């Protein structure tokens, strides 16, 4: 992933990489968000390398509810011996993470980023960070993660969380794996949800840093086209 050396990481927040896998028509999943395994074996291995290079991996509670990911590094997929597992960070403003979700299983350090709206309590091994009144504000969460020792953060989705990072400009790299498949329909989630863009001035500018074939699909690598707002 070319994660930066410690000295190049911002002091105020972690270096942030967004990553996702989409169909050729830009869908993250099947209708109603049912999980689509879009990554090829080559892409799955790429994602394990991304996970292995970061201090923490973040997803939204929507992804936890629909996919129940473990957010662990699958060392066996990259032929590496196990190292330190990244911390899991769940963006969950109102406490909707199911008690039996894999991210709460206590096997790796876990943070629930939440808001004052939630009165939910968690097992002792889960740390909570209150980072907003009604939602999780990235501008409050990211500095807190940095103070907690998270220097490199990988954000894996889903559509709502990717929208927030995209709109805030609080990211440094965005890699997208495009699978050679069309999902189609009107109910399959797009890569990015959030507010509509009424015109070009409301779109999020990106710069394309590279495109690489990966098996039958390809990975495109972007960075923000505008300066971050932090
Ligand atoms: N193909 C891929 O690479 C990939 C990867 C991940 C997920 N997915 C797919 O993505 C879909 C889930 O996407 P989703 O949009 O429903 O859920 P999501 O982005 O995972 O989570 C969205 C939820 O997170 C909470 N949240 C807290 N703080 C937020 C913030 N600052 N910004 C945005 N959300 C925040 C909100 O719920 P509260 O207000 O209750 O907190 C929000 O509804 C699933 O279909 C999953 O399969 C695909």
- The CATH number of whichever domain residue 129 belongs to comes to 3.40.430.10
Residue 230 domain flag: no
Residue 51 domain flag: yes
Ligand 1 contact, 224 CB (< 6 A): no
What is the distance in A from the centroid of ligand 1 to the CA of 89?
A: 12
Residue 141 domain flag: yes
What is the distance in A from the centroid of ligand 1 to the CA of 230?
A: 22
Residue 40 domain flag: yes
Residue 5 domain flag: no
Note the pLDDT of residue 228: 54
Instruction: Give how many domains the chain has, as a whole number.
Output: 1
Which structural domain range is residue 203 located in? 12-224
> From the first residue on, what is the mean pLDDT of each consecutive set of 10 residues in the chain (230 residues)?
84 97 98 97 96 97 98 92 92 98 97 97 97 98 98 97 98 98 98 97 97 96 78
Ligand 1 contact, 156 CB (< 6 A): yes
Note the pLDDT of residue 190: 98
Note the pLDDT of residue 57: 98
The protein residue whose alpha carbon is closest to atom 43 in ligand 1 is 62
Whether residue 158 is preceded by a cis peptide bond, meaning omega within 30 degrees of 0, is yes
For residue range 79-88, list pLDDT tens digits in order: 888 888 999 9
Residue 55 domain flag: yes
For the four alpha carbons of 57, 96, 68 and 29, in that order, the dihedral sign comes to negative
Ligand 1 contact, 92 CB (< 6 A): yes
Q: Which of 24, 96, 160, 195 to mutate to test the pocket of ligand 1 (most atoms within 8 A of CB)?
A: 160
Residue 92 domain flag: yes
Q: What's the token pair of residue 109? A: 């350090």
Largest CA distance in the chain: 49
């Amino acid at each position: 992933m070319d994660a930066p050396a410690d000295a190049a990481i911002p002091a105020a927040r972690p270096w942030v990489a967004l990553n996702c896998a989409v169909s050729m028509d830009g869908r993250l999943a099947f209708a109603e968000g049912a999980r689509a395994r879009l990554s090829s074996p080559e892409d799955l291995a790429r994602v394990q390398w991304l996970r292995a290079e970061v201090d923490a991996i973040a997803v939204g509670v929507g992804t936890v509810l629909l996919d129940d990911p473990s957010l662990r590094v699958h060392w066996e997929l990259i032929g590496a011996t196990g190292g330190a597992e990244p911390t899991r960070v769940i963006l969950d403003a109102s406490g909707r993470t199911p008690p039996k979700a894999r991210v709460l299983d206590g096997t790796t350090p876990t943070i629930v980023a939440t808001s004052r709206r939630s009165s939910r309590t968690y097992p002792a091994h889960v740390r909570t960070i209150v980072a907003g009144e009604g939602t999780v504000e990235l501008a409050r969460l990211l500095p807190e993660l940095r103070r907690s020792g998270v220097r490199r953060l990988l954000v894996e989705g889903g559509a709502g969380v990717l929208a927030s990072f995209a709109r805030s400009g609080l990211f440094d790299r965005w890699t997208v794996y495009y699978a050679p498949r069309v999902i189609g329909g009107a109910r399959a989630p797009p890569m990015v949800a959030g507010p509509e863009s009424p015109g070009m001035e409301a779109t999020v500018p990106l710069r394309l840093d590279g495109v690489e074939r990966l098996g039958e699909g390809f990975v495109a690598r972007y960075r923000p086209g505008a300066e971050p707002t932090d």
